[in-house]
Every structure is written in C-alpha cells, then in structure tokens.
Structure 1
Amino acid sequence: MVLGTTSCRFDAYPTLLAKDGVLDARSADLSGETINFTGKWEFYWNEFLDPKVESPENKSYLKVGVPWFSQENEDGEVYPSFGFATYRLTVLLPDPPAENQNLALLVPVLHSAYKMYVNGELVAENGVISKTEKNYQPSFHVKIIPLKTLSQKLDLVIHISNFSHKYAGIHGIIRFGKIQNIISIWNVNFTVSWILMIFMLLLSIYYALVYFINRSERNALRMAFVYLGILILTSTLIETRILFNLFSDEYCVTLFRFSRIGFILVMYFGAYILLNMTQVRFFKRMLIFLKLYALTFLLVAMFTPVSNLAKISFYFEFLSTIFVVLGLFSVSLALYFQRKESRLYFFSLLLAIIGGFIDLFLISHPSFGYRPLGLVSLYLFIFPQTLGVTFGLVRVYKRSESLSKELYKRKEALEKKVKARTLELEKANRWKANFVSLISHDLRSPLNSVNQILDVIDFSFNESTEVEKKKFLEICKTGVTQSLRMLEQLLDVSRFDAFGTKLIQTRFSVNDLLNEIIESVEPLATLKGIRIQKDTPIQAEIIADRTLIGEVFKNILTNSIKYSYLNSEVWVGVSYKGKWLSVEIRDRGLGMSEEQIHKLTGEENIKSMPGTAGERGTGLGLQLCMNILEAHFGKLRIKSVLGVGSSFEISLSKSTKSVLLVDDSGNFRSDLAEVMRRNQWIVIEAGNGEEALSHLSRITPTLLITDLQMPGMNGISLIHEWEGRRHKDQKIPIILISSDAPLSGGDKFLEEEGLESIVSAYLSKMYKAEDLCQQIEFILP
C-alpha cells in the first residue's frame, strides 16, 4: 500500500521545466511518454486574461505544483488563499508537428473552480468561476480533456477562482500526451485509490472484529475508527478524488465537510490511544481537552459557512499538532515505563511526525522538487499499529493454545494411568492362567517321554548293554533339548501376552519359516503316518514378529496333525490375495461344527477335544494365535465339516511400508498406530528411545516418527543416536511430534540442533489421529 501510494504521490519534477511561461518539449517523445507541465508559468493575480490576446508586457511568474498562497509576488508579499487569477503556459511541441495524434490533458483538482482554454478555445470548465464569492461555485472533479489537432505550439490559459479552500491554484500536476498514455496513468492512480480504500475498509472491519472477539482490546475499536477516518480522507483528498468524481458539483461543499469529519476521527481516536497509553493523571486530563477540541471541530466542519470553513479548518488542523506532540511525549513515557505496545506506537508516531515535518518543508520550499507525502505519513503510523494488534491476537492465540495443550496433556496422562492400570490387572490375571496351561500343554509330552525312558534305564540298568544305555541317554538328551527349545519359545511368547502388544518385528521369508516349522513337527506327523504336502509357489516376505508368527504356524499345524486321521494328509499353501498374504493349512480329520468354531474363537475357555490318537490339549493355543494375529492386524478364518476336515486360513498384510512409532503415551501411540494400520502401514511401536534403538538394530523402517519429550532418551537424543549409528544406505525420513508443537511453524530449534535437513517435519499432537496421519503421508515422497 505504501509503495502504491508513493508511486502516485512522489512525483519528482522532470528535466523539462517551464521557464518564464514557456515549456520547450520539442525533444520529447510523445509516443511513449507524457509531459508534466511544471516549472514557472505566467501568473496574473486578480485578473482573467483574454485567452485570444497576447500576454501583456508586465508579466509575473509562479511555480505550479504548489498553491499560490505559499509563494510571493515581486514585492515580497504572499498571495492570499481567496481570490482569482490566470495561469498561462506556452508549450513548444515536437517537430514534425503532432498532427493526427489523439492527444489529451489529465487535469487534477485545480483549487477550486476553473475554465481552461487551449489555443484560444474553451476546452473545459469545472465549477463556476467568479471574481466574487457571490456567484462562485467550487468543484473538485478530475478531468481527462481530449484535444483537437495541434500545431507546433500549445497555448494553455487557465482562469481559476477560489473562495472555499486554503490551498488555492494549480496544486496538482497537469499531464499532457497521447490519450491512451493519459488513460493508462489515470487507471493506475484510480486503481491504487480503490485498492487503498478497500484496504482501509478491511482494516477497519478487522479491528472492529478484534474488539468483538476480545472486548478488553478497546484500542482495537478506536483503531477501527482511525482507519474509517483514513478511508474518508483517502476517498476525498488523494489525487483521484474518488467521492468528488462520483457526485455532481452541488455536493462539493458537503463532501468537503465530510472530509473534515475523516480528519476528526483520525485525530481524536489516534490521540486518545496515545494520551491514554501512559496512564498518567496529566494526560488523562488532557483527554477532556481532546474531546472538547474534537467536538468543536466537528461543529465547525458541519455548520460553518463555506467562506470561513477553509480558514477555520486550517487553524484547527494546525492546533492538532499540539496533541501530536503531547501524544509523542505520552508514548515516550509509556516506553520508559515499559507499557504494553509502547515501542510500536513510539516508533510509528515518530515516523508519522517525520513525515509531517517533511511535508511542512516541501510546502514551504517548493523549489526543492518533490510533492508532499500527504497520506503516506499516516500510513507510516497505522501499519505498525496493525502489526501490534496482530501480534496481540497471536499472543492470545498462543495463550489459548498453551491452555489447550495443558488440558490435553492432563487428560492424556489421566487416561493413560487409568487404562494402563486396568490393562495391567487384566493381562496379569489372564497371563497367569494361560501361561501355566501353555507350559503344561507344550512340555508334558517330551518330559513324559524322558521320564519313561529314565524309568526303563533305572529298572534294567544292570541288564542293559553299553550301547543300549548310550542310545537311551541320547533319546533323553534329545527330549530335554527339545523341551528347552519349547520353553525358550514359550518365554518369547510370554513377551506378547504378559506385557501386551510388544512385538519385535523384522523382515523375513515366510517360506523359510514354514520350512522350519514343518521340520519341527515332522516326527509327530510321521508317528501317525501323515504326509505334509507343501504348495508354496511364491517367495513371500513380510514384516512381523517372526517368533510369534512361527508360534501361530506351529500351533495350527500341530492341531491339524493332532485331529487328522491316521495315514492322511495335511496341506500347506501360500498365495497372495489382494492386499493380503494368505497361508492356508488344510487337514482330513474330525472337523468341527459351527457351534464348536464359534466357541473356539470366542472369549470363553473351552475344554480341548482329544486327538485321533488320544492326544490331549488345553484348548488355549488357538486363542493365543488369534491374539497374536490381532496384534499384527491379521485375520484367521476357519472352515470345517464334521468328519471331513478343517481349513485354517491365516491372512497377513503383504505391505512392506513400515513405520517405527516412538511415544511414551500409550493412548496416543495406539490411536495413531491403529489409523496408520488401516492405511496399510506396518506399525512398529516403541515406548521410549532405548526400545526404538533396539528395533532399529533389527529392521530399517520406511519412516521414523518420534515424540520430542520422553523420559530418559528424548526424541532429539534418539535422532542424534540413530544418525551416529546408521549406515549410509539407512537414510530414512524422520517426523518429530510433540504436544508443545504449535499448529504451524515453531521449528527453529531444529536449526540449533543441526537437524533441519534430517527432520522432515515437526507436527503437533493436537491434531486428530486421522488428520495427523494424512499430514504424514502428504509429507512423504
């Protein structure tokens, strides 16, 4: 906005300056340029010169671009504001003559009524000129005046009357050139004016909304009126004079009064903010005088006759500098006392005052070559205030966000404690019963065999040969070794059921694992004459807990052998079905009814049926398998026909898109993990940095998500430790999350830690799990 305004207001005089009423523009290129009619024109005070008559010998010269009241005549006297005069300028046009060219003049407001003649012919009339106030009528219209074909010389004569405005005469700059160039200049100025007006209106509404959002921000409401006043000044005082051009001349005086109201709004509410800032008794008393001043000025602007309005308004405007000085003093004290937002107000007011002094200097020294700043001085004041209020809103937002985070943390901690205690009790009770049953179930057979062999050895120790003794000992050793291996596997399984879903996931071959399981149960199948037929045409790899998935395969395969008829067949197949890897185990045996399947997959404990060779079991193995698959977001489907056999289909995700999710909050971690698993992510969970490093030593995930604040090793330490340990080919994206993270920005600390190129994003845990997952997937390439 400042640049747009200054592009219209800062208008340095060009190299072509009129001298003694003549402007030599023969070297100008009218095809792409416009000529500014600046410099010294012929000037005839209190005289309307005949435009068709040559200029008299006794001539006066006056500079245009500044009002005549600020300049002196030959006797050293300053011209008064009210009166009438003639301006005359001879312009020498380029050679060859500018024939058959569409030329025009862009004429700003000439204070404040005029008639314009070109080469002796009347081309424009604005308002009603008069030598007395009686018949005079002002007009503040801006005109584009097309000109007829011109010869090599343009004789411009302007009659001006002024009995209503302090700034009289040719105060603006008249431009001359091709009509398309003139229209282009007008369009730029007109567009900038409307943009400024709309911008001021939006700022006024913005401040009003700030007040209604936070009623304690009373200065915001006052600033809304300040911007409203600037909007009025922008629509009436800048070069395009938007409001004056929209209405006819009969509303000219009304609009002039209206512009004074804009000045009063800016002055009163702006000074009120400044004087009230220091909270000192003297300045509070000055607020009474400010109110009287504003009210009196308002009455003057509304009811004073137009002949006296300009002069009285000028004095009121001059007196307003007293409140500006007091305001600066007040803000200086507020800055000393470190009052709220005093620094912004001090420097913005200082800038505005500097702009005002520049204006006074330029008006009193018109030969300097630049036009006054005008509204730019106000913009220098108001924009820092907008920043101040915006920063205030940001502080309120951050304070609200901080409270929300604190509430979220407390709620999260409370839920975490309640759920953790409940789960610990449930799992402890469940595991206590299940693990004892599992040990009894899986260790009974091999230990019974060892016990029977030892009985044989003890009964016939002396009669047995050395070869037989050695054979019996080898059988016992094999049984004990097998029992120890089973016990070790059961302890691995205990990780899962004793402590919840604590998976140690790796990437492994399903075919290799099945081969190992089939080899371990082959002796059991051989005793019953059962053939294990394997059909694995694909080489499948998955990410899962190898030990636990192996326990699932072993348990189901063992049960299939257990309930198969003698000399039958068990079939094992591996295939892909959509997004799933399917491992199917079919047997030919006793089979189950729908009721038995329902009970088997339910929560209640059931008594195990004996196998086809009288084998016994606990009935708990299948429930454990389903729990393991549930932890992997897998599925188990059972189909069976009584007397024919059963089919067990194990479905596991074939996705290798894995994420290591590290967070000490179990609730948050489980919620986000569940959403990510629904989006086909293999989620590896860790509750702290040490556990995460343990996972990273076995598997390199596709993505690492870690909480910033964790007990022990926090997220920053984890990232540094991982970066120090990893190989060059183990580069993975890292996303940092935290309850303290703002919803946007706030990641400068990553630069201090040297992690700005390592951490892909810093996200807030305040988002819903679904939204956070969506952001994470959007960030990843």
Structure 2
Amino acid sequence: MILRVFFSSIQKYFSDLLIFCSYPLILIFILLGTTSCRFDAYPTLLAKDGVLDVQNVDFSGETINLTGKWEFYWNEFLDPRGESPEHKSYLKVGVPWFSQENEDGEGYPSFGFGTYRLTVLLPESTYEKESYALLVPVLHSAYRIYANGELVAENGTLAKTAEKHRPSFHSKIIPLKSDSKKLDLVVHISNFSHKYAGIHGLIRFGKLQNIIHTWNVNFTVSWIIMIFMIFLAIYHALVYFINRSERNALRMAFVYLGILILSSTLIETRILFNLFSDDYCIPLFRFSRVGFVLVLYFGGYIVLNMAQMRFFKRILFLLKLYAFSFLFVSLFTPVPYLSKILFYFEFMSVIFVALGLLSVSLALYFQRKESRLYFFSLFMAIIGGLIDLFLVANPNFGYRPMGLISLYLFIFPQTLGVTLGLVRVYKRSESLSKELYKRKEALEKKVKARTLELEKANRWKANFVSLISHDLRSPLNSVNQILDVIDFSFSETTEDEKKKFLEICKTGVTQSLRMLEQLLDVSRFDAFGTKLIQTRFSVNDLLNEIIESVEPLATLKGIRIEKDTPIQAEIIADRTLIGEVFKNILTNSIKYSYLNSEVWVSVSYKGKWLSVEIRDRGLGMSEEQIHKLSGEENIKSMPGTAGERGTGLGLQLCTNILEAHFGKLRIKSVLGVGSSFEISLSKSTKSVLLVDDSGNFRSDLAEVMRRNQWIVIEAGNGEEALSHLSRITPTLIITDLHMPGMNGISLVHEWEGRRHQNQKIPIILISSDAPLSGGDKFLEDEGLETIVSAYFSKMYKAEDLCQQIESTLD
C-alpha cells in the first residue's frame, strides 16, 4: 500500500511537471521553427572601411546582406561619379545614424541628410552573366541610389531642408548592370520626418532571380499573415457574440485588428505603403500607430486583469489615459514633432509591458485560470523583443530581427485560451443540462422526503398537543374542584386549611403556566424547521441568567449549583431557544438530583465545538431509558426526587432546538449515580446572511456552507434580511438579485444607507441571469463595483459556488 501511494505521487509529480513545461516547450519550438529569424548566409562578410569583398561567394542560390561599415558623410551629398573625399567617416548600416557617433564622439541627430558609400568587389563569372539586383527596404526617409555613378532608384523627395523634403516608405527591387567587377554604391538620404534615420534596414544583394524569389516569399508570407489576422479578428468577434460573457474575446478581436494594421505597415514588404502613393505616407504612418495603440490597450487590459487585484485596476485607468493620449498625439501632432514625441510614447509603453508581466506572474502564483499560458507567452514575447533590440544594435551577427514574431508569440496563446474558454462554456452548458435533469430527480425525491417530514412533524405536534391538553386539564380540574370546596364551605374552613388549599392551587397554576411556555416555544417550529432569530451573545452571561432563574428551585431541595466556566465563549445562535435548552436540562438535573446534593455546570472548547456540560447526582437512567428519550416515541415523565412531575417532552424539545442549530446533545447516565448532559454548539463566528426567495436553492447552499463551518442566517426577501441586520452583523451577505418586493440591488442600497461606518460587510450578488464569468461589467453599470465584491451565477453547483465565494473573500 505504501509503495503504491509512493509511486502514485511520483507519477503525479512528473505529470504536473510535464504539463508545466509543455507551454515553454511549445513556444520555444515555435520560436526555433520560424523562418523570419533564420541565419543569413556568409555572416562573416562584413564591409570594412567602405569595401565589401564577395569575390568568393557563390550567388547561384544565395543572397547576402550588405552589412558592416560604409563610408558616411554627414550633411553632404557626394558626387556619385567622383572620388571619395579624404576626410572619411565610417558608419554601421542596419542601425539608425542617431544611435552612432562620429570620430569626435558626437552623436548624429535624427533630422538631417548625408551620404552612404560602399564598394562591392564582385566575383568573376565563368558562365553566362546574369543581372544582379538590390532588395532595398525602407531607408528613412527619402533617398537616391547610384550604382557606378548612374541613378538607379529614387524614393520620396530628397532635400536639405524640411520644407522641401517629402518622405516615402516604399520598398523596392533595383536591377543592376553586371558588366563590371566592381559595384560602387552611393546612397543619398535625407530625413526630417522619422526618429529612425538612415539605412535602418538591411539591403540584400544577389542575382535578380534570387532577389525576386526572396521578395515573392516575403510578400506571400505578409499576405498570409494579414489574412490570418483578419480571420482571427472575425473569429474572436463571433466568439463574443456567441457568448457575451467572453469579453476577452472581443478585446482579442481588437488586438488582432491592431496586429493587422502593424503587419500591413511595418513588415518588410510595407504592403499598404507600396499600394499608395507618397502623398499618403504620413497618414499611413499615423495609421500604423493606431494599430500600436490597439494592441497596447486591449492586450494590456487582458494581462493586467489576470491578477484580479485592485492595484492593477488602477493601472488600467492609467493605461486607458495613456492609450487615448497616444492616439491623440499620433493623429494630430504636426509632422516636425511627430516622430520625436511618438518615440517617447513607444519607449514608455515598456512600463506597461513590465506591469503586465508582473500581473501574469502574480496570477501564476495565485493559480488563476490560464495564467501559466499567459505567463510564458508574455515572457517569450519580452525575450523576443530584447533579442530584437540586440540584433538591431548588432546587425553583424547574421540573424534577422524577429519583428512582429515576438508579438505573435504573445497573442496566439491568448487565442488558444479564448478557444478553450469557449469549449469549456459548451461543455459547461452540456453538464448544466445534465445537472438540471439530476436536480429535477433530486427535487422529486426531496418533495417526497419533505412530505414525510411534514407528516412526521404534524404527527409529533398532534401528539404533543394531545398530551399537553391532557396534562393541562388535570391540574386545572384540581384547582377548580378545590376552589369549589372553598367556596362551598368557606366559613367552616380553618385558616391553615385555606393556606394549604391555596398552595395546591398555586402549584397547579404554576405547572400549567410552564406547560403553556413550552407550547409557545414549540410554536416556533413549523414544517420547514425552526425560525431562528440569531444574534451573537456570551454563553457565560446566558448561563448566569439561567442559573439565577432556577436558583430558588435548587434551594428548596438544598442543591448547590457549581460553575466551572474558565473561558469567555461567544457564539451566534438564537439566544432565547438556546436559553430554553440550558434551562430545561438544568431544571431536569435539579428535578432528579438527590436532596442536598450538587449540580455541576462547565464550559470548554473541544475541537471545533463549544461544549456545555451539566452533571448531577441523582436517580440516573438506564440505556433503555436514554434510547427512548432520544427516539420519536412519546414517553411519560418519571416523578422527581421530591415528587415533581412533567410532560416528558422537554428533552425532545431540546433535541429539536439543537438540531436546528446543527448542535448535538449527548447523554451519559448510571442508575442511582447520576447523569451527564453535554451540549455541543459550533464555536465558529464566521456568519453569512443568505437572502434568496428560492427555498430549495437557499437550503442547498446553506447546507454546503454549514459543512464549511459557516453560521448561516437565512432570509426569504430583502425586508426579512434587514430585520436580521438590525440584530446581528454577519461576516458576509449573499443576496439574490431578483426577489419579490425588495430585490437584491434595493437591499444593498438600503443597507448602505442604514449601516454605520464601521459596519463594512462584504456583499456578494447572485442571480440565474449572471454570466458564468465576467460579472464585473454588470456591477460597473449598476454603480456597485465599490460596494459588491462579486457577481456570481446561480447555475453553478452549490459546492462550486461556495468555493468561489470563499476564494473571493480570501
């Protein structure tokens, strides 16, 4: 058995470890499998001092990046046919010029103009010559390219001033003549509109057919990605319209819309820019930032909500303010200031990325739903972004930056999460249908059981009333007969006889009044159990009051009542009925105790229970008598040690009261020695006011919560709940939304208006109309988000709903 448990635990450990590792393994495989981060050919071929030697490169199936250091001349447009000046500077390509320094250690500004120059030593071809070509990405932000002194491409309007400059973000294939062993490239660039200036992307060089093939592959992949983004955006929108509780699906639709905009404007092929003329360059640039805002806001909203903490809800407000500011700046800032301001906005967005990682990390710690998937997706996206920053700063490594691949690593797992959520909803719907059918069967069984209980209760009441009527009639008949005798022979009766007759009458009336009190207590019981009026009170104070009330009875028999109450115990219960239990048992102990003996009363804690024990030295009982007392059979009371008589129903009344409080009564007795009565009550002060007009739902949830050590106070409507709240302050209030008379929202507002400042009680709203998840929106619409802690569906099982309620409080 021990070995079986050991191997079972080992198997579970490895299973959990495999599940935990599956997410990063999947993401790593995606990362390694993408072709957008492939290793470029000949990574060691770097331009040195403006010269790139590719004489030994086989261009039959390869293309190369023109990386390394090119000659660079700041604020000069060199003559493409002339020789290089003696004053030379060298600058790395693939990196914007503003991030580099000249030989004097001074940085270049973003806005300005300059000339790049590179000499490429070509291989000697032994076969029929083929044309070479350049694949030129966006060179920020207007340029002219000269090959061996001839103008081969122009993009935008090149100028030395911002007034005449006109940017262009087109990418091009430029065929070259191949009748020379050397290629002299001169690139004039001017920039007055973008933060990143110069040869920021990598120019690819190779045979024309290979360049065209590379372009076609990139172009096709870009369109596939864009079509896929459109499909995913529509898919998530449909998921939301199918299940309105999946608000994250709608947010993901906007995220994919933003990715679609970014893919069409930022991917190397620059599809939108290539489709329109340069007149639309700046509007399209602004439009691309709209995509950035959509991804930042809606993606951030999802991850920041994962931790379900108030701190991140405040951060969401800042994110909303930041996103609207970003959008406003993107659309309305003048062009000369646009790139610089947007650069700082993009840089500050890193703060929200870091907060998002913190949120999903806390969600992972608290084991929130889908937290593991989100954590690794965001973590891998951040790692991809850091790798991109490194590769952009060091293009000589030969790897191409991943670009939007890092963003795909973040959003695809979220799509998986939304899809799994939708699958869970359908499975939940199916299980709910089955559950409804089971509940219907269970309800039928409960109706039959309740009918039997009602018949049992009516039979018990009928027997009780019959017995009370019999026992009540006897002493009253005796009193009536004695009064007739006194009235008939009043003048002949001596004073001593009159006093004796009056004592007999007083005893009979007293006994009748006690029977009436018991009858009134029993009237608190109905077919559905006891109507409890629960308050929080001190058990010691109640016992002192009961002992004081029965002290005269004990004194007549010379019985001493000894108290042992070392603890100050408080419970939540019906004080009157619990007092009746204490009084009834204590009275019985005095009744059956020997003259001049003792009765002991003690209070102590035993585990989860508060124990009140009452012991006497008296007649005692046999096992058979104890069994009859705890059964349903009506028994005739035995006379006390001084001839006292009773109904025999006192202990049955006590048992019913304790059952209503989920308490217990244990009896131990030895004939001729005495008896011990132990009353066990729950010591929990964790109380809940459960308000619902559905008796079946309320009783099911109350039963589960009581098993979890909750003191449950039930109310059928808002008015009854307020009546309870006037007497007791529970730990929690759970109320149904729809109730006749005063509904749940009215109850909440009424209680908020009545309560004292220090009476802050968590409130949970429940309803059959509530979504299975995402009830925060309803609370916000009703203005209850600061008053009500949660809004849950009644469609959950009572056990699941109780678990959600307790997790919310934790």
Residue of structure 2 aligned with 1:683, choices 712, 724, 731: 712
Q: Out of 8, 15, 19, which is 2:77 matched to? A: 19
The answer to whether the aligner puts 1:28 opposite 2:28 as a matched pair is: no
Give the residue type in structure 2 aligned to 1:584: E
Counterpart for residue 509 of structure 1: 538
1:652 match: secondary structure: strand
The C-alpha deviation readout for 1:36-72, integer Å capped at 9, x for no partner, is 9995456899x9699xxxxxxxxxxx997679x9968
| Structure 1 residue 645, shift from structure 2 partner | 0.9
Q: CA deviation at 1:508?
A: 2.4
Q: Which residue of 2 aligns with 1:695?
A: 724
Determine if contact 1:42/1:87 at 8 Å carries over to the other structure: no
Aligned to 1:80: 175
For residues 676 and 543 of structure 2, the distance between their equivalents in structure 1, rounded to whole angstroms, comes to 17
Q: Pick from 459, 464, 471: which aligns with 1:433?
A: 459
- Residue identity in the other structure for 1:721: E
Asked if structure 2 preserves the Cα contact closer than 8 Å seen for 1:434 and 1:620, the reply is: no
Amino acid at match of 1:432: N
Q: Secondary structure at the match of 1:164?
A: helix
Pairing 1:727–2:753 present: no
Q: Which residue of 2 aligns with 1:452?
A: 478
The 3-state SS of whatever aligns with 1:729 is coil
| Residues 76-155 of structure 1 mapped to structure 2, 5 A cutoff | 80-81=175-176, 83=178, 86-88=182-184, 108=202, 110-112=204-206
Which of the numbers 274, 277, 284 marks the counterpart of 1:359?
A: 274
> Equivalents in 1 of 2:146, 2:599: separation in Å?
118
Distance 1:387 1:66 in 2: 32
Code of the residue aligned with 2:446 in structure 1: it is: K
> Residue 742 of structure 2: SS of its match in structure 1?
coil
Mapped contact 1:737–1:764 kept (Cα < 8 A)? yes
The answer as to whether partners of 2:479 and 2:505 remain within 8 angstroms in 1 is yes
1:764–1:66 distance in 2 versus 1, CA, 3 Å: closer
Helix, strand or coil: the match of 2:212?
coil
Residues 353-432 of structure 1: pairs in structure 2 closer than 5 A: 356-359=271-274, 401=428, 408=435, 412=439, 415-416=442-443, 418-420=445-447, 422-423=449-450, 425-432=451-458
RMSD of aligned Cα (Å):
5.8
2:480 partner letter? L
Q: Deviations over 1:278-314 (max 9, x none)?
A: xxxxxxxxxxxxxxxxxxxxxxxxxxxxxxxxxxxxx
Distance change >3 Å, CA 378–CA 271, structure 1 → 2: farther
**Aligned-pair CA distance for 1:646:** 0.8
Classify 1:657/1:643 alpha carbon distance in 2 versus 1 (closer, same or farther; 3 Å). Answer: same
Q: Which amino acid in the other structure matches residue 736 of structure 1? A: L
Counterpart among 521, 528, 532 of residue 499 in structure 1: 528
Q: Partner residue of 1:641?
A: 670
Give CA deviations for 1:180-235 in whole Å, capped at 9, x if unaligned: xxxxxxxxxxxxxxxxxxxxxxxxxxxxxxxxxxxxxxxxxxxxxxxxxxxxxxxx
**Deviation per residue, 1:97-153 (Å, 9 max, x gap):** xxxxxxxx99956312xxxxxxxxxxxxxxxxxxxxxxxxxxxxxxxxxxxxxxxxx
Of residues 211, 229, 233 in structure 2, which corresponds to 1:165? 211
Unpaired stretches in structure 2, ≥5 consecutive residues = 1-26, 28-34, 38-69, 92-100, 125-133, 154-173, 188-198, 235-251, 289-400
Q: Which moved more, 1:593-602 or 1:349-358?
A: 349-358
Contact 1:83/1:162 (CA < 8 Å) preserved in 2?
no
Change over 3 Å in CA distance of 1:548–1:478 after alignment to 2: same
Q: Deviations over 1:730-770 (max 9, x none)?
A: 32111222344334322222223222111122233455544
Inter-partner Cα distance in structure 2 for 1:428 and 1:513: 33
> How far apart, CA to CA, are the structure 2 residues paired with 1:369 and 1:498?
75
Deviation at 1:690, TM superposition (A): 2.9
Say which SS state the counterpart of residue 540 (structure 2) adopts.
helix
What is the CA-CA distance between 1:505 and the residue it aligns to?
Answer: 0.9
Find the counterpart in structure 1 of residue 66 from structure 2: none
Distance 1:695 1:419 in 2: 28
Deviation of 1:444 after TM superposition, in Å, equals 6.3
Query: Does the aligned pair in 2 maintain the 1:591–1:646 contact within 8 Å?
Result: yes
SS at match of 2:543: helix
How many Å separate the matches in 1 of 2:565 and 2:625?
30
For residues 774 and 377 of structure 1, do their structure 2 counterparts lie closer, same or farther at Cα, with a shift above 3 Å needed?
A: closer
The code of the aligned residue for 1:777 comes to E
Counterpart Cα distance in 2 of 1:507 and 1:761: 26
Q: Hey, what's the Cα distance between the residues in 2 that align with 1:368 and 1:682? A: 65
Change (3 A) 1:108 1:651: same
Residues 472 and 109 of structure 1, relative CA distance in 2, 3 Å threshold: farther
Contact 1:517 1:550 in 2 (8 A): yes
Change (3 A) 1:65 1:444: closer
Whether 1:753 aligns to 2:782 is: yes
1:556 aligned to which of 585, 593, 606:
585
Structure 1 residues 413 and 726: CA distance shift in structure 2, 3 A: farther
**What is the deviation of 1:419?**
1.5
Q: What do the CA deviations read for 1:467-487 (whole angstroms, capped 9, x no partner)?
A: 998997898689657745653
Question: In the alignment, which residue of structure 1 is the partner of 2:51?
Answer: none
Q: Report the more deviating stretch, 735-744 or 24-33.
A: 24-33
Local SS of the residue matching 1:165: helix
The whole-number CA distance in structure 1 between the counterparts of 2:275 and 2:418 is: 33
Q: Supply the AA of the counterpart residue of 2:482.
A: V
* Pairing of 1:662-673 with structure 2 (within 5 A): 662-673=691-702
Pick from 654, 664, 669: which aligns with 1:625?
654
Provide Cα deviations, 1:324-370, integer angstroms capped at 9, x if missing partner: xxxxxxxxxxxxxxxxx999999987887775231356899999999
The 3-state SS of whatever aligns with 1:166 is: helix
Alignment of 1:99-498 (within 5 A): 108=202, 110-112=204-206, 164-166=210-212, 356-359=271-274, 401=428, 408=435, 412=439, 415-416=442-443, 418-420=445-447, 422-423=449-450, 425-439=451-465, 448-461=474-487, 463-464=489-490, 483-484=512-513, 486-498=515-527
Maintained 8 Å contact 1:353/1:377: no
Distance of 1:559 and 1:274 partners within structure 2: 77
Cα distance change on mapping 1:670 and 1:342 into 2, 3 Å: closer
Q: What CA distance in whole angstroms lies between the structure 2 residues aligned with 1:514 and 1:472?
A: 35
Question: Offset at 1:666?
Answer: 3.9
Asked if structure 2 preserves the Cα contact closer than 8 Å seen for 1:688 and 1:711, the reply is yes
Output the amino acid matched with 1:164.
N
> For the Cα contact (< 8 Å) 1:82–1:164, is it kept in 2?
no
SS at match of 1:680: coil
The answer to whether residue 810 in structure 2 is matched with residue 736 in structure 1 is no
SS in 2 for 1:80: strand
Work out whether residues 39 and 63 of structure 1, in 8 Å CA contact, stay in contact via their aligned partners in 2: no
Secondary structure class of the residue paired with 1:659: strand
Q: 1:362 touches 1:368 (CA, 8 Å); kept in 2?
A: no
TM-score (normalised: structure 2)? 0.54
Q: 1:606 to 1:731 in 2, by over 3 A?
A: same
Q: Percent identity?
A: 60
Deviation at 1:647, TM superposition (A): 0.7
Is the 8 Å Cα contact of residues 655 and 680 (structure 1) preserved in structure 2? yes
1:714 matched to 2:743: yes
8 A contact 1:18–1:24 mirrored in 2: no
User: Is the 2:229–2:256 Cα contact (8 Å) retained in structure 1?
Assistant: no
CA radius of gyration, larger in: 1
